[in-house]
Structures are given as C-alpha cells and as structure tokens.
Amino acid sequence: MGNAVAEEHALILESVRALAHDKIAPRARDIDLTQEFPWDIVDLYRSQDIFGIPFTEEYGGISGSAVLLNRAIETIAAVCATSSLILAVQSLGSYPITIAGSEEQKKRFLPDIASGRKLCSYALSESGAGSDPAGMETYAERHGDTYAITGSKMWITGGGVADTVTVFAKTNRAERSRGVSAFVLENVKELKGFSANTIHGKLGIRGSNTAELVFDHVEVPAANRLGEEGDGFGIAMKVLDRSRPGIAAQACGIAQGALSYATKYAKERHQFGKTIAEYQAIQFMLADMESQVQASRLLVERASEMVDAHDPGLTHIAAIAKLVASDTAMKVTTDAVQILGGYGYIDEYPVERMMRDAKITQIYEGTNQIQRIVIARHLLSE
C-alpha cells in the first residue's frame, strides 16, 4: 500500500471513529431497547459515504480494501454492534456480484449499493439448511429468459429492509452443491410472490433486521444469474471466506468496547477503601482480556490482508480469525459483566448489551463448530 493510499485510509478511519463516537454511540442503547431498525444510521452512512468503503471507485466506492472495511466495522462495533452489522451486510450482499458478476452486472448493480441508495442482503440459509447449505430446498425453474424462484430463506440479516437480495437456489434439484445457482433480485419489495417476515425476540443485535424471506414463483431475469448454472455453491463459499473476517472484526470491536468500559469502571469503583483496579484479581482479568483482544485483532488484520491479496490460503485463516475473535468476544464481554458486578447485569450499563450481542458472532457466517471443521480439514489435508 502506497503512502498516499495509507494516508487516505487513515483519514477515512478517523472519520468513522468520529461518527462512531459522536453520532452512533449515543444511539446504541435506544436502538437495543426499541428493537427498531435504525434508519437514521443508514442515512448517516449514506451522507458520509460509509457504504462506499467496500467498493472501488470504479463502481462508485471509495476504497475496496478489506483491511479498511474491517477496521471500520471494528470501530463501529465497539459502540454499537447493530450499526456495524449494517455496513458488514452491505458488503456481504454485494460480494457474490464482486466475485462472480460480469462487468455488465457489476456496473449495473454495484453503484447503487456503494452509495447506499439500495440496501443489500445475502440469502443462503434456510430453516432446514443452515450449517448444510447444500441441503437447501429453494429452487429456480427456467422459463425462457426468466427463472421462477420458489422456497424460503431463514435468518436473513437485512432481508426485510433490503432492496437488492442475492439469492441461492437449486437449478438442479437432484444435486446437492453442484445444483445450486446464484441470482440477484432487484427491487424485491415490488416483486410479485415475494414477502419478508421480520423475526422478533432476538437475544442480541436487536436493532438489526432479521427476516424469513418467502418466494412464491418470484420471477428474475436470466441476465441476473451470477456465473453459470451450478456455480452458486462455490460462489457462496468464496463469499463466506471474505465475510468471515468482517464478523471477526465485529467480534473484536464488541470485545474492545466491553474491555474499555470495564477498565474505566474498575478505575472508578471503590471497594474496601480503594479502587477495584488496585486488586490483582481484577488486574489479571483485565490483562487476559487485553491479550485476547489484541491477538484477535492481529488475526483479523492478517485475514483482511489475505482478502485484499486474493491469497489462496484465506479459507483457513478466515476460519481461525472468526473462531478466535468470536470466542474472545463472548469471554471478554462476560468478564466485563463480572467486573461491573450487579451493575453489569442491568441495561443502564452497556456491557450486558455487548455480552448479548457477542453471542451471535459465534453463530452466523458459519457456527464456530463449522469453523473448527474447516480448520481441522485443512490441517489434516496437509
């Protein structure tokens, strides 16, 4: 990376940091309590070109760097996981187009996503096909120049607010992974046969929209298929390799936010005539938390660099980064609650929200059990 690019990225990240501190942090608790999708944060991202970070200037973006994107996600997640997820999902939903789209498709779809004019989501999981996406039952039948998609998708982040949705469906129902194809659905809210049912009552990321998507013979032009029929599963796996470092970054941010708050609290809270930060038991907890966060951040940085370099070893390192960072987020936020004691257990203080938000990072983009399978498979194949 040249000095000019590095300086530009530093300026962008400083802008993100200021927005996170001044605009997003004051909204975090209310977003969690109301459980309402924060359209004001979307408008903020649009006005400040935050949605442009995952995209190159050629397609209307301002960067295209995974390193910068994931640093931005971490920075926002330190104050509000829900708000960081809006940026992460905008990139996730566009990755299939970036990876497998033709030049015509990229120029047609990406500028509206990069500007935030259209929100984007990624529809792979189903109620019976989460960790086993090849077992999906949603299918697409071709009729001339169009396909008709029938089925449903579950746990789709942003699915109820998105304008553009990348959908994976079987074009050969007799096959598993080799029968999957990928499609870009535009202006989904206007499509006949499409509906989105928002899922309520989540443990964490409560302001994020999570939905079940239903397709009843929803028509999509053949020109919106990404790659050839049967390419979809490979596209989906390449997308997850790129997106897992982003979830690791989110986890790292949540952990950092909890650590920072717990450290501040420990220096102010008095027990037995001195601050609890003066007790070795608390010092050792904070030291372990700091070490785990720093180690996770280095893994996120390495995986992000590999995304930018198109490194063939990405699958392995992305899985490690996601596994370590999300387990760290759960451990660090739990310890932060412990340091705050009874105060940590009520929603007046942010660490209980951070603990709830941390849990999802161990689940989505592939559960941590799946990450261990990916890591072990690579190790044993050498």
Report strand pairing: 270-271 vs 225-226.
Answer: unpaired
pLDDT at res. 5 = 83
- DSSP assigned state of 322: H
- DSSP assigned state of 134: G
- Can you tell me which residue has the tokens 């033709």? 102
Please report which residue ranges of 79-167 form alpha helices under DSSP H: 81-100, 103-115
In whole angstroms, what is the distance from residue 293 CA to residue 326 CA?
10
Q: Report the chain's mean pLDDT, rounded to a whole number.
A: 97
The pLDDT > 70 percentage for the chain reads 100
Is the pLDDT confidence value at 331 over 80?
Answer: yes
pLDDT at res. 382 = 78
Compute CA 374 distance to the chain's CA centroid, rounded to the nearest angstrom.
Answer: 19
Q: Dig out the tokens for 203 from the structure.
A: 């443990």
Confidence of residue 4 (pLDDT cuts 50, 70, 90): confident
3-state secondary structure of 270: strand
Name the strand (E) or helix (H) holding 120.
Answer: strand 120-123
Mean pLDDT for the stretch of residues 161-175: 98
Is the pLDDT confidence value at 124 over 80?
Answer: yes
pLDDT at res. 233 = 98
Tens digits of per-residue pLDDT, 212-271?
Answer: 999 999 999 999 999 999 999 999 999 999 999 999 999 999 999 999 999 999 999 999
Q: Dig out the tokens for 99 from the structure.
A: 């990876």
pLDDT at res. 1 = 64
Q: Dig out the tokens for 112 from the structure.
A: 């509206």
pLDDT at res. 3 = 79
Is the pLDDT confidence value at 142 over 80?
Answer: yes
Active site residues: 365
Confidence of residue 141 (pLDDT cuts 50, 70, 90): very high
Tens digits of per-residue pLDDT, 278-325?
Answer: 999 999 999 999 999 999 999 999 999 999 999 999 999 999 999 999
Confidence of residue 350 (pLDDT cuts 50, 70, 90): very high
How many residues are present in the chain?
Answer: 382
Mean pLDDT for the stretch of residues 346-350: 97
The identity of residue 43, as a single letter, is D
Is the pLDDT confidence value at 127 over 80?
Answer: yes
The identity of residue 239, as a single letter, is V
Is the pLDDT confidence value at 145 over 70?
Answer: yes
Domains of the chain from N-terminus onward = 3-115 (1.10.540.10), 120-230 (2.40.110.10), 233-381 (1.20.140.10)
Is the pLDDT confidence value at 52 over 80?
Answer: yes
Please work out, in degrees rounded to the nearest 5, the angle formed at the alpha carbon of residue 26 by the alpha carbons of 36 and 332. Answer: 90
